[in-house]
Each structure stands twice: as C-alpha cells, then as structure tokens.
Amino acid sequence: MQTKIVITGGPGTGKSTVIKELTKRNFMCMPEISRAITQNARQNGAEQLFLTKPLLFSELLLEGRVNQYIEAEKKNSALVFFDRGIPDVHAYMNYMSIDYPKTYINTSNFYRYNYIFLMAPWEEIYISDNERYENFEQALAIHNHLKRAYNSLNYKIIEVPTGTIEDRTDFILTSIK
C-alpha cells in the first residue's frame, strides 16, 4: 500500500524547497505543476491565466493533479510526496470567490491522501516572482482557505514549524513514521 503525502501551503512557504530536499534524499516526489501551466499559457499569449481565466486554469490544474496522482500509483515507491494536492484547486477558487463545479469536491474526495502537511506563511522567506503575484497578506488568506478546504474533507492537518530546510524535512519524515 502506497502512502501519499501532500505538502501544501500558501505561496512562498518553502514547499518546493522541502520537495527538493526530499528528492535529494531519494524520496519519490511529484512536483508542483501550476508554474508549468502558467508558463505554457504565457507562451501562448495569456500573461496570468489564473487571473484572466481562473476556471480554465483550475480545470487544467485539476486534470494535471489527478494525472499526477494516477502516475504516482504506478510508481514502485512506498512513499510519494506531492507538492500540493488536488484540494488546493478548490481552495484557490474559494480564495478568488469564483464558483466551480461540484466535481472539484467529488474529485478531492475520490483521490485521497494519507498525510497533509501545511506550511504556514513565513514572512522572512517570502519572495514574489514572475509566477507568484500574491503579496504576503494574500498568502495568509490563501493559507486559511487551504486549511478550510482540507478540514472540510476531513483531513487531519499537520502544521510544519518554521526552521531550516533540513529541520522541516526531518519533521515531516518523523511525523509519518
């Protein structure tokens, strides 16, 4: 039986850095795909697809995350870490106050994870860039929507304390044993 672990949180909380550390330690990790969708849309003339066509962006993201989940099940790995999970999609839609089909919730209930680790906003490490347009206050709001989304799906959320990448990674690994 494969154990599926989500590392989630608002933008700029260190998720991808922890995923890189887990990869370095030879764990199977599924990368964040929203940057790839954003960059692909930009190459096709949509500067910020999430802002201009949020439902289209979210549909692409939902499909991509489901595909990652299915791909992970084919891997011969006891543990698989995901940089964000399927419920992140509707959490962001709630943050944007945009209606979305009920299938988003149904999909989140169908594809379940074993552990949810939530990285809290941490102002000292927060950086904006070309794909991350949110300011720190928006990151806090997104954090709250993520927490609500996972709680509404009856997940037990484990909050990851701040600290070095090694400490945060060790905390996650110790928590799943």
Q: What is the CATH number of the domain that holds 153?
A: 3.40.50.300
Report the domain count for the chain.
1
What range does the domain containing 131 cover?
3-175
Chain-centroid distance of CA 19 in Å reads 11
The dihedral sign for the CA sequence 108, 63, 113, 128: negative
> Is residue 127 pLDDT above 70, yes or no?
no
Between the ranges 45-49, 91-95, 105-109, 130-134, where is the mean pLDDT highest?
Answer: 105-109
N-term to C-term CA, the chain: 15
Count the Cβ atoms, other than its own, within 10 Å of residue 99: 7
Between the ranges 10-14, 50-54, 69-73, where is the mean pLDDT highest?
Answer: 69-73
* Whole-structure pTM value: 0.89
Q: How confident is the model at residue 120 (pLDDT cuts 50, 70, 90)?
A: confident
